Structure formats: structure tokens, C-alpha cells
Amino acid sequence: MKVRASSLCFAIAAATTLGFTGFANAQSGDKTSRTLEQVKARGSLSCGTNTGLAGFALPDDKGNWTGIDVDLCRAISAAIFNDPNKIKFVPLTAKDRFTALQSGEIDVLSRNGTWTQSREADLGLLWTGVNYYDGQGFMVRKKLNVSSAMELSGASVCVQQGTTTELNLADYFRSNNMKYEVVAFATANEAIKAYDSGRCDAYTTDQSGLYSERIKLTNADEHLVLPEVISKEPLGPAVRQGDDQWFNLVKWAHFVMLNAEELGITKANVDERLKSTVPEVRRLLGVEGDYGKALGLTPDWGFRIVKHVGNYGESFNRNLGEGSRLKIKRGLNALWNKGGLQYAPPVR
Amino acid sequence: MSSAPAGAASQTEPPRTPFWRADWARGALWQALLLAAFVWLMWAAIDNASVNMRARGVPTDFGFWNRPAGFDINQTLVHFTSAGSTYGRAFTVGLLNTLLVAFFGIIIASVLGFLIGVARLSRNWMVARLATIYVEVIRNTPLLLQLLFWYNAVLAPLPNPRQSLELPGNIYLNNRGLFVPEPLFGAGFDWTLWALGIAIIAYYAVKRYAARLRVETTKRLPVGAIALGLIIGLPALAFLLAGAPLSWSTPVLRGFNFNGGVRIFPEFVALLLGLSLYTAAFIAEIVRAGVLSVSHGQSEAASALGLPRGRLLRLVVIPQAMRVIIPPLTNQYLNLTKNSSLAVFIGYPDLVQVFAGTVLNQTGAAVQVISITMAVYLVISLVTSAGMNLYNRRMALAER
């Protein structure tokens, strides 16, 4: 009796399962290719940012998000909505960021993420460009009397887990035949706190991060950023694969800001430059031609970005450069014609 | 559903109710429908996820398992290097670290919980009050907060390696951990282990002989003294005969930190402390409930028979209390194991930190990694509760 009852169960179970085979497949249609429409329908951009990194993404004393990564999201929002504030910021730890993008929780990940081969090939993501050229460095206490990272053999190093930093660290010590102890934390905040409490001899992250984290230490002057840069860290925004229109939109939001700087268009003079006779300026600001259409935007998308957010140089200056507490030099992030690496293809 | 009549064909006794009205058939039908719905739901979820993952170019296989990890872990019970070890190896490291902290956590929490539970029932006003305060404070604050507290409380007062506290026996304490000498066993040390094994077997033989002797002649042998002599004396003799094949690797300050010896990491200590103190408060309440559940008449009767207080507790009260204690105690053990995943906040490389943290992020295989992690916790919990159920069955009241 028992045997018969259970075999009956399985027969029915199997039949039912087979009968419904078609449904789930029909349901799982491609939702990835229409990001712009979703953003427009929702009325806001969902932007994944750092949980708090001065210069890149940090809420100010009034609760407004500021930073160079935030400005990129504001540029996208300005291009779509003619309003730089139609954004839902989603603060993400390094560990959770890619999952949030893969799963569709956010539309764009603008969170000082390093562009690497495996992240594009294995994670199903695409980097749209580089908004900050960085490299990994070390910070130590001055009283250790260390002047080079090569003297760090045997040191304990605090690091944020799930980052390229963690991997570069292992590579660097291995290739230089040095021993070390890694202490990995889920967030940069916990890592820097442990370093501050003396658990580690050194703290490592991208150099820009070292400068901005140093502000948080109990006595910032006691710490020193070592001169070595041990890796290439091209930081930039990422999107999901499979939506070329959205990929282009995010990519060109950054390029518009770069081109604006190159052409000398600023937040302050953008209205006046509408009257310009220079063809590049007229195309960028949408006076001539309709370059926004293929991106799903209005012709004046470039004007909107500069009007609301400013050009790349302005954004850099107020978040990271002389206009900020960090005072980071342009260095590699200067425009190509000023000795840096920032280069944007033309709008035409 | 067409298969149903076929199943009933063999069963045709005229006066009986037809099978489709029979309880078993209806029961089976509903069970089958429910099972089918469940299977379909699970299958739909898995299929939906894998289709979408493939559409987005996210890996859906387990190929990452054998790829080199490329990152380092500080506390490893098995050999692990960023150069040669795989993600699979990182999983093993994380799993062992989880099991390590859970194992010691359970032991410490049990001992402490029993002591505090008994202390709450103490007739000494001070002891009982202190135990109550402990239980109330610990039980009513969040565990994560306590872990952060212990991590900072363990770290903050400790000096840096160059000003380490030196404890007797070449033990050093600083904010990088506790460094103790590591025993290095030379050739011939296995003799000592063999001698210990023989001593343990001999102890059981003596114990049985003593029991028989007592029944037959009422003579008592000093079993305790004999056992001590056997278990310490025999291995010590073997050790000396083999030429004392044991040396110590003492920790030495070199550069930034100590080299050599065994190192106990502050993250481990903080997590162990936090978990065991927290769980001990719950165990104390369970123990108190268990002891109170034993009818007062039992201990009165035992006293009337002239049992001294120690044996009264050991032979009468505790065995009966255990029946009430064990099932909720199992829950606490499971909680402790699962709570160990909070390690991620204080930098202890447990399974969640290493595998569901770094490995997930480096490989992007979120669904696979999380499924494996959940399965591991499930298995650990099931094994723990199976063991505790076995123990419970031995302790349970034999009913007739």
C-alpha cells in the first residue's frame, strides 16, 4: 500500500512538472535590454555608489551625495531628466557591488571599481570608461621609519576584501619574495579602524583612497603614504552586458564632460557658449545636429550635463582637487593635451 | 493523474468503499499535488535564474572551484598560499575556521552556561545576583555589538609587537595576537602516544576489576590514584626512555612581528569570546529551567537516603534535569554555529568571510557560492542536531 501511494505521488509530480515546462521559460524573457525605458518609467536612476569615500561618493553635511563618481550619475540623470537629482543612490560595499548590478538592483555602478579583464568576461559586466586613473599604494605610521613598500616584509596589512587590492597585495609580496599577514575586512571602514587601532602595520588601497581615508584617522599627521604604486587601477562606471544603448549613454555622459573641459565649456559659461560658432561646441551642446536621438535622449543632452554638473575638470577640482580637502593633483587624470590620459572621442 | 486507477486495480473487494474515497488515496493525492507544486516552483526558480544568468553572461557552472585563488588568508589550518591554492582550497580553509570557532565556542559556552545557570540558583545572594545581571545584560544586547566590543576591547589595551607583554614560558602577547611556543615532536615521540593508549585501556580494565571486587568482597580499590599513576606515569616513562624527543619552537621578534611558535589571532579570540559569552547566557537560563523542573521531592528523598550533596546532584538531579536541558541546548549550539558567520565584521576568516565574501566577489558566481554556503551550514546544523538527538535518546526517560 505504502509503495503504491508513493509511486502515485511521483507519477503525478512528474506529469505536473512536465506540463508546466513552458511557463518558466516564457517568463524569463530578456529584461536586460531596456534599461533606459525602465529608468524613464521609474522616474529615477538607480545608481550604485560607495558607502562613503571622500572625493568619490560621500553624503555632505546636508545629506547630499557628493563626489566624482556621484557626479557621473548626476550627469546621466541630467541627460535623461534635465534634473541632476532624480537619482536613488544605493550605497554598496566592495563585496556586494557586482551582485547588485548583475541582479538589476541598480542601473549603473559608479563606485570606484577597477576595470579588469575577468570582471568583464566572467561577471557579465562592461566598463564604459575610466573616470579616474589610480594605482594601489600603502599607508604606514611614520614612527615605523619605513620609507618604501619594499621594507614591509613581515608586516600585517589591513585590506578591504573582495577588491583587486586584495589580489595585487598578494602578487606584490609574492613577486618580491616578502612575507606578510593579510587581515581582510568586509568594508573599508572596518579595515581602516583596525589599522588605526594598531592591528596592522600598513593599510593598502588605491592611492586616492589612502588620501581620503587618512582624514578619518585619529591623528592623520602620524601617517605616511609610501611612494610605490604597485598596480594599475583604472576606475570607472560599469553596466550590465546586453544593453548597448544604455552602455553608450553612460559612456558618453563621461565623454561629454571631458569634451566640455577640452572645449573650455563650464557650468558658468555654458548658456553663453550656446551662441558659439565653433562647430564642436555647437554639436556638443545640441545647437547643431541631433546626436542624442540614437541614445534615446533629446538633442540638448550635452548642454544639460554641463549645465547641471559641469565639465570633468570642474568635477575633479571640487571633489578631489584644489577645491576639496583632498588636494589631489590631476596627474594621470589631466586631459590628453595637458600630459594626462583623459581622452574623449569627438561628438560628431 | 491517469496513473491513479491503475494503482487501485488490484484492490477490488466489493463491499469496501471505492478507493477514491479512501483516506489513504485522498491523502496521497493531496500530498502528491503539494509535492508537484513544490517541485515545479523550485524548478521554475532554478531555470529562471540560470536562463537569466546566461543571458547576462554570468557563469552558471562550478568551474571556478579549481582555479587559482590569488589572495591570501591569515589564519589557515591547512596549507594555503596565494600562488598555488585554488578557490576550493579557500573554501576548505574557511570551513575549518568556522568549525574551529564553533567547536571551542560550544565547549566554553556549555561550561560557562552550566556554571552560571547553577549560580543563579545559588543560596548566596551575591552570587545569584551577579549571575542574573550577567544573563540579563548579555541576553538583551545585540550579538554584533558585543563582537565589535570584544574586538576593540581585546585589541585596544594591547601593546604593539615591539613592546609585547612577556609572559612566563616564552609566551608573548601583543595586538597581533598571542604567541606561544610550538612543540616539535622528534623521532620516537610516537612511543609516548602508544604508552598513553595502553594506559587508557589499562585504566578501564582496572575500573572494571575494581567494580567486580567491590560487589564480591566490598573491598574498595583507590581507582583514582591508580588511574592518575597509569595515565601520567606510563607515557612519562616512555617519553624518558625514548630520550625526551621533544623540542620547542619559541616565538622570536623579527622585523615587524614574531616568527615561530603558534599564534592565536585576536580576531579568533574576540569571536570566540563574543560567541561563547553570548550563548552562555542563554544556556544558563536553560540549565536553570532544567534544574528547577526536577521535583523537590526527588532531592529530599535522596537526602533522606543519606546521599551527600555532590552525589545527590550527580546521580539524582542532573540526570533528570538533562532531559529538559538537551533539546533547547541543541538549539543554542546551532545558533552559536550560525552566529559565527558574523565573523565577517571583525576580520576573522570564516566560511562566510572567505568563501561567500572574497571568492564570491572574485568569481562572480553568486548563486553557486551562496548555495554551497547555505548547504554547508545546513549540513553542520543537521550533524550537530543528529549527535545531540542521539545523546538525548540515551538520557531520555526509558518508558514502558
Q: What is the pLDDT of residues A285-339, one digit of tens each?
A: 999 999 999 899 999 999 999 999 999 999 999 999 999 988 888 989 999 999 9
Cell triple for residue B243? Answer: 630520550
Check residue A31 and give its pLDDT. Answer: 46
Check pLDDT > 60 for residue A1: no
Residue B260 has pLDDT above 90, yes or no: no
pLDDT band (50, 70, 90) for residue B12 = low
Residue B171: partners with Cβ closer than 8 Å, 6 or more residues away: B178, B179, B180, B181
Q: Which residues of A118-148 are buried (b: 16+ CB within 10 A; e: fewer)?
A: ebeebbbbbbbbbbbbbbbbbbbbeebebee
Q: For residue A301, what is its C-alpha cell?
A: 543632452
Under the phi-then-psi rule, with left for phi > 0, alpha for psi from -120 to 50, and beta for the rest, what region is B306? left
Q: Which residue in the block uniquely carries the three cell numbers 516552483? A: B41
Amino acid A33: pLDDT: 55
Q: Does the pLDDT value for residue A11 go beyond 70?
A: no
* Cβ neighbour number for residue A263 with a 10 Å cutoff: 18
DSSP assigned state of A334: S
pLDDT value of residue B14: 61
Same domain for B139 and B51: no
Cβ–Cβ under 8 Å, residues B172 and B179: yes
Contact A80, A324 (CB under 8 A): no
- CATH code, domain carrying B115: 1.10.3720.10
Give a yes or no: residue B367 inside a domain.
Answer: yes
pLDDT of A342 above 60: yes
Mean pLDDT value across residues B183-192: 81
The pLDDT of residue B8 is above 70: no
Where in the sequence is the domain holding B21, given as residue range(s)? 4-55
Residues B24 and B121 placed together within one structural domain of the fold = no
Together in a domain, B101 and B155: yes
Q: What is the pLDDT of residues A37-90, one digit of tens each?
A: 999 999 999 999 999 899 999 998 898 999 999 999 999 999 999 999 999 999
pLDDT at A6 over 50: no
Q: How many domains does chain B have?
A: 2
| A111 burial via Cβ count (<10 Å: 0-12, 13-18, 19+) | buried
Split at pLDDT 50, 70, 90, the class of B157 is confident
Q: pLDDT tens digits for B300-318?
A: 999 999 998 888 888 898 8
Domains and CATH numbers, chain A: 33-133+234-254+310-333 (3.40.190.10), 136-231 (3.40.190.10)
| Residues A97, A103 contacting (CB under 8 angstroms) | no
pLDDT at B84: 83
Angle formed at CA A163 by CA A162 and CA A168, multiple of 5 degrees: 125
Nearest CB among A24, A144, A198 relative to B48 is that of A24
Q: In the block, which residue shows the cell 543563579?
A: B120
Measured in Å, how far apart are chain B's first and last C-alpha atoms? 45
Compare CB distances from A20 to B40, B59, B360 and report the shortest one's residue.
B40
Q: Chain A within 8 Å of B51 (Cβ-Cβ)?
A: yes
For residue range A229-284, list pLDDT tens digits in order.
999 999 999 999 989 999 999 999 999 999 999 999 999 999 999 999 999 999 99
- The conformation of residue A338, written as its DSSP 8-state character, comes to G
Provide mean pLDDT across the span A17-41.
Answer: 57
Residue B15 lies in a domain: yes
- Read off the pLDDT band of A5 (50, 70, 90): very low
For chain B, give the mean pLDDT: 87
Burial of residue B61, with CB atoms counted within 10 A of its CB: 0-12 exposed, 13-18 middle, 19 or more buried = exposed
B48 CB near a chain A CB, below 8 Å? yes
Find the largest Cα–Cα distance for chain B: 94
Task: Show the cell assigned to A5.
Answer: 501511494
CB of A160 within 8 A of CB of A168? Answer: no
Q: Let me know if residue B62 belongs to a domain.
A: no
pLDDT at B1 exceeding the cut of 50: no
DSSP for A130-150 reads -SEEE-EEEEEEGGG---SGG
CB contact under 8 A, B74 and A181: yes
CB within 8 Å: B3 and A169: no
Distance between CA atoms of residues B147 and A185, nearest Å: 14
Are the C-beta atoms of B385 and B393 separated by less than 8 Å? no
B313-321 contact pairs (CB < 8 A, 24+): B317/B291, B318/B291, B319/B395, B320/B293, B320/B294, B321/B287, B321/B290, B321/B291, B321/B293, B321/B294
- Say yes or no: B279 and B155 in one domain: yes
Is B386 a member of any domain? yes
User: Is residue B312 domain-shared with residue B369, that is, in the same domain?
Assistant: yes
What residues contact residue B167 under an 8 Å CB cut-off, 6+ apart? B173
Report the C-alpha gap between A291 and A306 in whole angstroms.
Answer: 15
pLDDT for residue A116 is more than 70: yes
Please, are residues B185 and B301 in contact by the beta-carbon 8 Å criterion? no
Asked whether residue B76 is domain-assigned, the answer is: no
Distance from C-alpha of B392 to C-alpha of B121, rounded to nearest angstrom: 24
Is residue A166 within 8 A of residue A114, CB to CB? The reply is no
Residues of chain B positioned with their CB less than 8 A from the CB of A5: 24-25, 27-28
How far A347 CA sits from the closest chain B CA (Å)?
29
In terms of domains, do B148 and B292 share one? yes
pLDDT of residue A7: 44
**Model pLDDT for residues B59-118, shown as the tens digit of each residue:** 788 888 999 888 999 888 888 988 889 999 999 999 999 999 999 999 999 999 999 998
Using a CB-CB cut-off of 8 Å, the residues of chain B touching A95 are 357-358, 360-361
Please report whether residue B181 resides in a domain.
no
> What pLDDT does B10 receive?
54
Instruction: Measure A41 CA to nearest chain B CA, in Å.
Output: 22
From chain B residues 290-329, the ones with a CB under 8 A of any chain A CB are none
Element (H, E) at A247: helix A244-262
Q: Same domain, yes or no, for B317 and B387? A: yes
Question: ipTM score of the complex?
Answer: 0.74
In a domain, B303, yes or no: yes
Backbone angles phi, psi at A103, to 5 degrees: -80, -5
Hunting for cell 598555488 — which residue is that? B84
Instruction: Check whether residue B31 and residue B111 sit in a common domain.
Output: no
Q: Would residue A129 be called left, alpha or beta, if left means φ above 0 and alpha means ψ between -120 and 50 degrees? A: left
Burial (Cβ within 10 Å: 0-12, 13-18, ≥19) of residue B186 = exposed
Residue B7 has its nearest CB partner, among A4, A17, A169, at: A4
In the predicted model, what is the mean pLDDT of chain A? Answer: 88
- Cα distance between residue A37 and residue B152, in whole Å: 48
Beta strand spans in chain A (E): 45-50, 58-59, 65-66, 87-92, 108-114, 125-127, 132-134, 136-141, 155-160, 180-185, 202-206, 223-225, 233-240
Helices and strands per DSSP (H, E), number in chain A? 14, 13
Q: Do A182 and B362 lie within an 8 Å CB cutoff?
A: no
How many CB atoms are located within 10 Å of the residue A301 CB? 27
* DSSP letter string, B323-387: HHHHHHHHHHHHHHHHHGGGGGGGT---HHHIIIIIIHHHH--HHHHHHHHHHHHHHHHHHHHHH
Q: How confident is the model over B5-10, as a mean pLDDT?
A: 50
On whether the CB atoms of residues A222 and B306 are closer than 8 A, the answer is no
Q: Are residues B48 and B155 in the same domain?
A: no
Q: How many residues does chain A have?
A: 348
| B28, B267, B346: residue with CB nearest A9 | B28
Contact residues for B346 (Cβ-Cβ < 8 A; gap 6+)? A185, A190, B147, B148, B151, B267, B270, B271
The residue type found at B149 is F
Asked if residue B391 and residue B309 are part of one domain, the reply reads yes
Residues B273, B340 share a domain: yes
Q: How confident is the model at residue B52 (pLDDT cuts 50, 70, 90)?
A: confident
pLDDT over 80 (residue B143)? yes
Would you say residue B211 lies in a domain?
Answer: no
Out of B25, B29, B47, whose CB is closest to A24? B47
Nearest CA in chain B to A18: B40
Same domain, residue pair B390 and B273 = yes
